[in-house]
Amino acid sequence: MRIWRFGDNINTDYITPGRLNLTDDPKELAKIAFKEYRPEFSEKVKKGDIIVAGKNFGCGSSRETAPVALKAAGIRAVIAKSFARIFFRNAINIGLPVIICKEADIIKEDDIVEIDLKKGIINIVNRNVALQCEKLPEFILKIIEAGGLINYIKIHGKLG
C-alpha cells in the first residue's frame, strides 16, 4: 500500500485522457489512468493504494470513467483539500470513498493511513497523527455504505 500524491486542479482529462477513453470496461480504463500525466501510475498502482491531492481534484469533464478507472486500478480512497463537484458525486455513486481534508498536505507518500469516514478522521498510523476532515452528510454516507447509488436505490426502493 502506498500514497500517491498529486497537486491542485487535477482534471479528468489527466485521469482518463479523452483520446484513450474509448471503452466502458473498467479493467481497460484502469490501464489508461494518468497514462500521460503520470505514466508510472498505471504500472505501479496496487490494490489498497490511496490518492492524496490538493484543491479541486477531478475538475473539468464529467466523465465517470475517471473514478471508475481509479477504483478498478485498486485505489481505496481519494483524499483531497477539495473536490470538483461532479467527480465527487461520481466517486460516491460508484462506491469510491472521497474525503475532504484541508490538512491533506501533511500526508507523505510513505505514510500508512486509516480512514474513518463516519467520524471524518484520517489516522496516520506510523506517526500517530489524527487529521480531522469534513464530515459527510448522513445521506451521502448512506450511499457510500450501500456501495454506491444504484445499491442505495435497490436497498431503499427509492432515492429519498
Residue closer to other proteins by CB (options 15, 113) is 15
How far apart are CB 58 and other proteins at their closest, in Å?
Answer: 10
Phi, psi of 52 (to 5 degrees): -120, 120
User: What is d(CA 37, CA 133) in angstroms, rounded to the nearest whole number?
Assistant: 28
How far apart are CB 18 and other proteins at their closest, in Å?
Answer: 4
Cell of 30: 484502469
3-class secondary-structure state, position 151? helix
How far apart are CB 36 and other proteins at their closest, in Å?
Answer: 5
Residue type, 81: K
Handedness of CA 141, 145, 151, 157 (dihedral sign): negative
Q: Which residues bind other proteins (CB under 8 A)?
A: 8-9, 11, 13-14, 17-19, 21-24, 36-37, 55-56, 59-65, 67-68, 82-86, 89-90, 93-94, 137, 139-140, 148-150, 153-154, 158-160
How far apart are CB 120 and other proteins at their closest, in Å?
Answer: 16
